[in-house]
């Protein structure tokens, strides 16, 4: 399958199509709405991968909320994780005594996510939960993982915010890169 938006590269197969993603994001919005009936809700998007998912999700959450972002890096200039997570940008919004929902595109090894949870917890939120679009189910379990869109195959996926060398984020579906 070749998509004209795929820069001439071949995508092996669509794993989650637009309709499936849209339906699941709507369900997640209802789940998040029900889980937070009161208190200040701050939704924090882990950039860059979560930005499309986050935008669609917050429009489906039917309660007041605020949005902020963080950018973490564990790769530096290499292609293999260094194991050291650096925050390149962190939320400027106070986190103390607020419900925090960290929105992530995909849970892979879980190392970066575990480090982010520790850092966010240290700022005294009322609660902290993770909402991930995809979970490859290879990371050690984190009790904060509360909302998951889809169990993902352990293949290299692109689209709907997920990238390969900054390409493919714009695709409205998730596909395996050949």
**Cα dist from 162 to 26, 85, 97, 125, 178, whole Å:** 19, 19, 32, 28, 15
Of 68, 108, 163, 167, the catalytic one is 108
Measure the CA angle with vertex 168, ends 67 and 113; round to 5°.
Answer: 45
* Contact indicator for 111, 81 with CB cutoff of 8 Å: yes
- Is residue 135 flagged as an active site residue? no
In this structure, the strands spanning 86-89 and 99-107 are unpaired
Active site residues: 108
């Amino acid at each position: 399958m070749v998509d004209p938006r795929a820069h001439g590269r071949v995508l092996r197969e669509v794993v989650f199509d637009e309709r499936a993603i849209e339906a699941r994001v709507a369900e997640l919005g209802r789940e998040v709405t029900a889980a937070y009936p009161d208190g200040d809700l701050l939704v924090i998007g882990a950039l860059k991968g979560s930005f499309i998912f986050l935008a669609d999700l917050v429009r489906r959450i039917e309660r007041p909320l605020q949005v902020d972002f963080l950018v973490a890096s564990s790769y530096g200039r290499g292609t293999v994780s260094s194991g050291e997570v650096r925050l390149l940008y962190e939320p400027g919004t106070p986190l103390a005594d607020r419900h925090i929902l960290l929105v992530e595109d995909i849970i892979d090894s879980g190392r970066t996510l575990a480090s982010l949870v520790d850092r966010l917890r240290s700022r005294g939120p009322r609660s902290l939960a993770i909402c991930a679009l995809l979970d490859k189910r290879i990371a050690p379990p984190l009790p904060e993982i509360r909302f998951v869109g889809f169990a993902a195959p352990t293949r290299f996926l692109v689209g709907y915010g997920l990238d390969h060398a900054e390409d493919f984020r714009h695709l409205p579906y998730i596909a395996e890169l050949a």
